[in-house]
Amino acid sequence: MRSSDEIENNGRAGRRTIDGYRDTYRRVTKPALAGLRLHELSTGRIYRFLNNVASDHPATARHSKIVLTGMIGLAVRHDALHSNPVRDVGPIKIATKDVKALSVNDVQKLPTVAGRWQEDPAHQGRPRATDLLDVLDIFLATGARIGGGLAIRWQDVDLEAEPPTITISGTVVMEKGRGTYRQDHPKTKAGFRTMKVPPFAVQTLRCKQTAEQPKPEAMLFPSSTGNVRSPHNFRRRCHSHRPGIQFQHAAAQLGPSGTAITEKHYIAGPSQLGMVGLFDPVRSVAAGGE
């Protein structure tokens, strides 16, 4: 039995996480250590290997350490080794980068920037998505992660409630051998939540509902073929805006499980509710062709 199989059988990690571990083993760990016997995997040897990887790719080194901990731990549990040498390697430090949070002014510019990109007459090639402004409205209104926002179905939207609500109940994942699909639970436990929808987003939802007449199980923001939309493709489109505003960061105002993550990475200001309120009139102007 492989350690990844043991983790999967015990339900300790999701399929995507396990696929990531296997990929790290194949690309990084196996080429460096696969020819060694178990007793040759000393703490010093593993320490040098991980630090060598960490010099250029600290996150990969951290993943490699997790892989090695699991692999050698399996050997210990089967009495092939007395102890796990990875335990004494110590933590792998990942240097933190300063992140510039979006200001209120930045958020107010998002619809204009997105609208110009979406309607750019000079664009050539594959047609661009025509619903980017709508997606942006819902992301700013809910604070959903990208995967969580793209996983919203019409049955998760309650426009009859007072005030109307949206429930984040899943996420979109991409899995090797399976493709892109909707997972029926968010990335974290804290990600499952029902939120009140501000007026500007309610208006967007009502317009979409009237125009599309969707079934309850339909995706709120489907792909061009009517299927689940790929977060990877959405991120790629967002990155093409970087000369203007990096609005991909605004997609997760409240999605992370800790408020410290939100405050550090996404929005600078006194409160998310205040941010949403300030965005309301700007969206109306942008939609009218400023």
Extents of the domains making up the chain: 3-88, 104-287
pLDDT of residue 274 exceeding 60: no
Per-residue model confidence as pLDDT tens digits over 32-69: 998 899 999 999 999 999 999 998 899 899 999 999 99
pTM of the entire predicted model: 0.63
Max CA separation in the chain (angstroms) = 71
Query: CATH code for 3-88?
Result: 1.10.150.130
pLDDT of residue 172 exceeding 60: yes
Whole-number pLDDT of residue 210: 94
Query: Domain 104-287, what fold?
Result: hpI Integrase; Chain A (1.10.443)
- H helix runs in the chain, sequence order: 3-10, 15-24, 30-33, 43-54, 58-77, 104-118, 132-142, 146-150, 199-212, 231-239, 259-265, 272-287
For residues 89 and 65, the answer to whether their CB atoms sit within 8 Å is yes
